[in-house]
Chain A
Amino acid sequence: MSTLVIPLQGLTIIICLGVLLHLQFGRTGIVNFGVVGFSGIGMYTTGILVVNYAIPFGLALLIATAVTGLVAFLLGLLILNLDNEAVMVATLAFSTVVFYLVTTEDWLTEGVVGLGTVPRPFEVGDNATSQLAFLLVLVALAGALLLYAARLQHVPYGRLLFSIQDNETLSRSLGKPTFRHKLVLFTVTCAAMGAIGSLDASVNQFLVPRLLTADLTFVVWIALVLGGRKRVWGAVLGALLTVGLFDIVIEQYVDVPREFAQQLPNVQLMLFGLTLMLVILFRPQGLLGERRRKPQEAPQVENRKKVEA
């Protein structure tokens, strides 16, 4: 069981990032290809503050979230009124900049030597119990994000975000300040990515620039697109089928021959890429498909009318 806890922590982190990407891309249509840039800023800010300056984890988490939010706000101000393609390239470029800054500015980040050790935010009992408790905290966080995304199905803000994705010009013509809404959403969700990255620092404990390569962005994207980008549970399903299958099922339970085991990470990324292509070709809305309308909604409205009449 205990060998499962750490991979499960990683999986939960992916799910959290996936749900946040669902809010950005699946709901609002912001093509954020720099997920790892934002979680990376959160991760390294936390690492630097905790390791180099001995700041308590909780405070470091708050600072990391705020810093990521501020960076996202400034970036969003520059790019969010551009075309989708431009947003994609800009965010990807941004995350690359973050990666290289972390690699080269070794006076601050220790560069490729690595920064560590980042402790857990809290300790309860022995090591195993603490790990388990931390996993539960992450799961609760993922649950909260999912709950938020699910609530958006039923409230004006969710409809507004869909309208921006579908037809921003039309949405503006109905009086919606779409740029401001996109900027707020982008800032808040990227700040949340920073917070997730901050907790991820504690999952990884030892921070190296390799954690900030675009691989993480692609993994989150594949999970979301495979599961269904417009569906609340899309990221969860996608993450289970990709990261869950590889990092947990195969890694833990399948006896892979040793000479092949070394190739597994590469094979994994190739398979992810292939999966992405197949999904885009054959089921662009993902496994869960389009959002279904709830058949009970219509009668409810009818009932309400009758009651009032």
Chain B
Amino acid sequence: MTGATSATRTAGTPAGGQKTLHLHDVHKHYGGRTVVDIADLVLGAHGIEGLIGPNGAGKTTLMKLITHVVSPDRGRIEYHSPGGTVVLTQHSPDAIARMGVVKTNQVIQDFESLTIRDSLLLSLAGAQQERFWKVRRDKGFLRRANEEIDEYLDLFHFQDPDGRAGSAGEKKLLDILRCLLLKPRYLLMDEPTAGLPQEETDKVMQVMRAKTRETDLSILIIEHDLDLIWETCEYVHFMAEGEILLQGTPSDVRSNATVAEKYLGASHA
């Protein structure tokens, strides 16, 4: 079980828009229960990485620690990018999002007063537009923003883009699109397919693969649909009881006895 730390890879050569997250000695416990206990971990050395593990393994908490929605009890999380190194644990969640480290939500989150289009426009607007004295229509911004939004709306079907998101699936999809419009550099996806119809899931994953190829986006996915993980991810981290127990290519992880015992065995027996 102590193999976790030795499995840590070196970051590789941080060239050409390479971004990595380094977690050093990161601990989080709720009450007496340790939820996350990571000695050393490098994320983001590959375009799309998977984070798998049984329920309660601490996967979502790990993502929340990265975006600093949850503060660690101790430890450092560093974000290395061509722009320099930032210690994420010293920044607010909104500042981290502005750096390009963005997380989609597992549980459905929405703005009930905003239509789908308004919600997407919210994502695209920046501090430049959001000032209390800016009450004149900004045609340039609207045109650019609507173009960008329409690109996604052509791809993904909403019942009524100028109304509110109706179904759970629409809200889930909207959540992902909001994050994509932020043009993240490192995207954390917490169970993106839960609640989405299969065809939408396929389209989302297609877009994700294309984005990681065409832009400098890196993705970390938590997913219980393991077929999706084996198919999509270049590298997989297996987490249980707050620790990263195993890392490797999908085929390595898939064939590993520990994973079978701790996770596949537990759920597939």
Contacts and interface: CB of A to CB of B under 8 A. Distances in A.
Contact of A175 (B94, B105, B117): B94
Interface residues of A, number: 37
A154 B115 CA distance: 12
A166 B111 contact: yes
Given A155-B134, A155-B136, A160 B113 contact: no
Interface in B129-151: 129-132, 134-138, 141, 143, 146-147, 150
A174 B143 contact: no
B67 interface: yes
Interface string A124-168: 000000000000000000000000100110111101101101110
A170 B97 CA distance: 11
A293 B162 contact: yes
A166 B136 contact: no
A85 interface: no
A159 B121 contact: yes
B109 A170 contact: yes
A287 B119 CA distance: 26
Contacts of B138: 155-156
Contacts of A162: 111, 113-114, 118
Given A160-B122, A304-B146, A173 B110 contact: no
B122 A185 contact: no
A210 interface: no
Contacts of B197: none
A176 B113 contact: no
Contact of A301 (B67, B94, B130, B146): B146
B129 A157 contact: yes
A170 B105 contact: yes
Interface of B is mostly: loop
Interface string A173-184: 111111001001
A148 B135 CA distance: 7
A176 B94 contact: yes
Given A157-B129, A172-B97, A163 B135 contact: no
B37 to A, nearest CB: 25
Nearest to A149: B135
A157 B115 contact: no
A157 B134 contact: yes
A305 interface: yes
A185 to B, nearest CB: 6
Contacts of A230: 113
Contacts of B143: 304
B22 interface: no
B125 interface: yes
B103 to A, nearest CB: 6
Interface in B97-112: 97-98, 102-103, 105, 109-112
A156 B137 contact: no
B80 interface: no
Given A166-B111, A167-B110, A177-B92, A156 B135 contact: no
Contacts of B119: 163
Interface in A270-288: none
Nearest to B124: A156
A157 B105 CA distance: 24
Nearest to A152: B135
B109 A167 contact: yes
B17 interface: no
B93 A155 contact: no
A135 B131 CA distance: 31
Nearest to B143: A304
Given A148-B135, A184-B132, A297-B162, A159 B93 contact: no
A181 B126 CA distance: 13
A290 B119 CA distance: 17
Given A175-B97, A298-B162, 9 more contacts: A151-B136, A155-B135, A159-B118, A163-B119, A170-B105, A172-B92, A181-B130, A301-B150, A301-B162
6 contacts: A151-B136, A159-B125, A162-B118, A166-B111, A170-B109, A308-B147
Interface of B: 67, 69, 92-95, 97-98, 102-103, 105, 109-115, 117-119, 121-123, 125, 127, 129-132, 134-138, 141, 143, 146-147, 150, 161-163, 178-179, 182
Shortest beta-carbon contacts, A-B, top 8: A156-B125, A175-B97, A151-B135, A156-B129, A166-B111, A162-B113, A175-B98, A172-B94
